[in-house]
Chains A and B, each alone.
Chain A
Amino acid sequence: MLLYGAVAGMALVLLPWIGPVSVTPRGVWREWRSAPAGAPQRDILLTQRMPRVLLGVCIGAALGMAGACFQVLLRNPLATPYTLGIASAGALAAAATLAMTQTLTLGSLVMTPYLAALAGSGVAAAGMFVVARRLHHVATHVLLLTGVAVNMFCGSALLVVRYLVDPYHLVTVDRWLMGGLMTVGCADVLHVAPFLAVGAGIIMLHAHSLNQLAFGAEVARARGVRVERVLLWSFVGSVLMTAGAVAVSGPIGFVGLLVPHAVRMLSGVDQRIVLPASALMGGVLLATCDALARTCVAPTEIPVGVITACLGAPLFVIMLLRRNAACAI
């Protein structure tokens, strides 16, 4: 864990210096000491780069930990924060809001894409859990199948939104759906941080019980785990983190799938290590991918979701091949 923490700390320190405009420690120090009216390097570092790296770390941490938790909860190594359609529902609600007017006013409530995404994810998660509970005391396979159905429905509804929207708004919707961390100031960090803190806290409290769930509900129950309660709270924690992340950055793929598998290869399968390590490594991966996204074709910027997908897919295949080779030995 110390090593993971050190890597995350290094990422936080080093990544703000990477970008299309040269910002150096010496330049920032000089501007800080002389305090001129215009201090471009200092302003870029403090108002753009650092919040952006911090946002990347928070979003990546939320996706990494939620992915690791969903893989245990659903007993499925292919599960991601997006498998259950929570993110799709959030994306659908946000896209619908963006497609209409950028902001939708419902009485006195101004519905921004952020709030819409949170509301969409929340409604989908609650509905899914009610259905799963009604059918079979919150059996994981029912949760998974319900989630897949929600995912497919939201995917289709999103196509309808994209088909109906005018071309000007379609570009905005598509850019949001590609996922990105473009931010100025700390507002977005403050939007996602509470979800990350509460969700991570809930999940870590149940980390040891999640170890027991890996042996099946029967064995876990026989060892003293209150299985339904652990499933409910871990689900709530994962949903909070996923919804918070998607509402701020849009859907960013592969972090929630790739990172937990990489951590298990490096540090074993104890969830008390895997869950926090997935959060730290998810943060590092996303912040690094974002640094790549803003520099590789500078001054143009690539949406970070495209980078994570392009890097994540081959990396995932390489990891699988390496693991199989290790098993063969």
Chain B
Amino acid sequence: MAALVVQALQFAHGRGAWRLGPLSFEVARGSLLCLLGPNGCGKSSLLRILARQWRATGSVRVGDLPQHAYSAMGWAAVVAYLPQTVTIDYDYSVEETVSFGRYAHTRALGFLGPGDHAAIDAALQATATTALRARRLSTLSGGERQRVLLASVLVQQPQILLLDEPTTALDMQHQVALCSVLRQCVAQGMTVVMASHDLALAAQVSDTCILLQNGRIFAQGTPAHVLQEGPLRAVYGAAIEVLRHPTQAYPVVVPRMPACHAAPPVLACA
């Protein structure tokens, strides 16, 4: 059954020439969809529309209801969204930051109940940030901050999670940890839609991929279907090699660099 159904979605910035769509696709409940494509192809715009931040023409249905039939609180209890960049004005503690994600579940003034505390503990544990809970955001590294922000959306306990390039600031260890958290969420029935530039990660973690070019869908399907040399070269305009992993079933995407090591040095040392 589809958790998210998008039909004939179209969006344009003012009177500009750039348009997103028309797009039509479905995301199955309990699956992970990766939105792929070069800079400016419309990944973040699509996520913002799915997250109800921007209005577009066409239809987006979540569960049985159109997107705009939900109340603000009802929407936040169903769909969580983490944008690419989050600017935070004040130096909140990690625990405060995560607890604010419970806004849709708490009453006036946001006082927390036992269920909220349990959800906060679980989100901190899932993102390996329990040890940071008393720290201020200003004292965290970029990767730690990103994990705390991820915890603040997990704590919403949504049915659908929309993430815009969540692995950007993470080192390899925490990328792997994040992916395993997302796969656990998917295994528990959550639907994840994630924009990413990391094709290797998308190949391993996603159930389906959508490859966007100039605001339109160029290819969609399983990673093995989408991540092929032909579509990737056409969309990214670069030499890309797709290998088979020696032991696993997923493709390994490798950019083919110009033969820089073989070329003679441009600058000679004095």
Contacts and interface: CB of A to CB of B under 8 A. Distances in A.
B77 A215 contact: no
B53 A75 contact: no
A167 to B, nearest CB: 47
A214 B88 contact: yes
A216 B84 CA distance: 12
Contacts of A204: 109
Interface in B80-130: 80-83, 86-93, 96, 100-101, 103-104, 106, 108-110
Nearest to B76: A224
B87 A270 contact: no
Interface stretch (A23-31, A100-108, A183-191, A205-213): A205-213
A14 to B, nearest CB: 32
Contact of B103 (A218, A224, A264, A327): A224
B110 A211 contact: yes
Interface in A197-228: 204-205, 207-209, 211-212, 214-216, 218-219, 221-226
Contact of B92 (A221, A223, A270, A272): A270
Given A208-B103, A211-B110, A222 B80 contact: yes
A303 B165 CA distance: 56
Contact of A223 (B87, B88, B96, B103): B103
B86 A215 contact: yes
Given A208-B110, A211-B110, A223-B76, A218 B100 contact: no
A66 to B, nearest CB: 18
A51 B138 CA distance: 44
A222 B51 contact: yes
Nearest to B79: A222
A272 B100 contact: no
Interface residues of B, number: 34
Nearest to A274: B90
Secondary structure type dominating chain B contacts: mixed
A91 interface: no
Contacts of B90: 214, 264, 269
Given A214-B88, A222-B76, A224-B75, A205 B108 contact: yes
Nearest to A222: B81
A218 B86 CA distance: 9
Contacts of B106: 208
A219 B92 CA distance: 15
A112 B92 CA distance: 45
Contact of A270 (B51, B72, B73, B96): B96
B90 to A, nearest CB: 4
Nearest to A220: B103
Interface string A257-273: 00000001000111010
B270 to A, nearest CB: 40
B103 A212 contact: yes
Contact of B104 (A207, A223, A270, A272): A223
B109 A215 contact: no
B167 interface: no
Contacts of B110: 208, 211, 272
A214 B152 CA distance: 14
A224 B92 CA distance: 19
B52 interface: yes
A72 interface: yes
Given A218-B86, A223-B101, A224-B104, 7 more contacts: A72-B89, A208-B108, A211-B100, A216-B83, A218-B83, A222-B53, A224-B77
Interface of B: 48, 51-53, 72-73, 75-77, 79-83, 86-93, 96, 100-101, 103-104, 106, 108-110, 138, 153, 156
The 4 closest A-B pairs by CB, nearest first: A224-B76, A208-B110, A269-B90, A224-B104
18 contacts: A204-B109, A207-B109, A208-B110, A211-B92, A212-B100, A212-B103, A214-B89, A215-B87, A215-B88, A216-B83, A219-B86, A222-B79, A222-B81, A224-B72, A224-B76, A225-B72, A269-B92, A270-B92
Interface of A: 72, 75, 204-205, 207-209, 211-212, 214-216, 218-219, 221-226, 264, 268-270, 272, 327
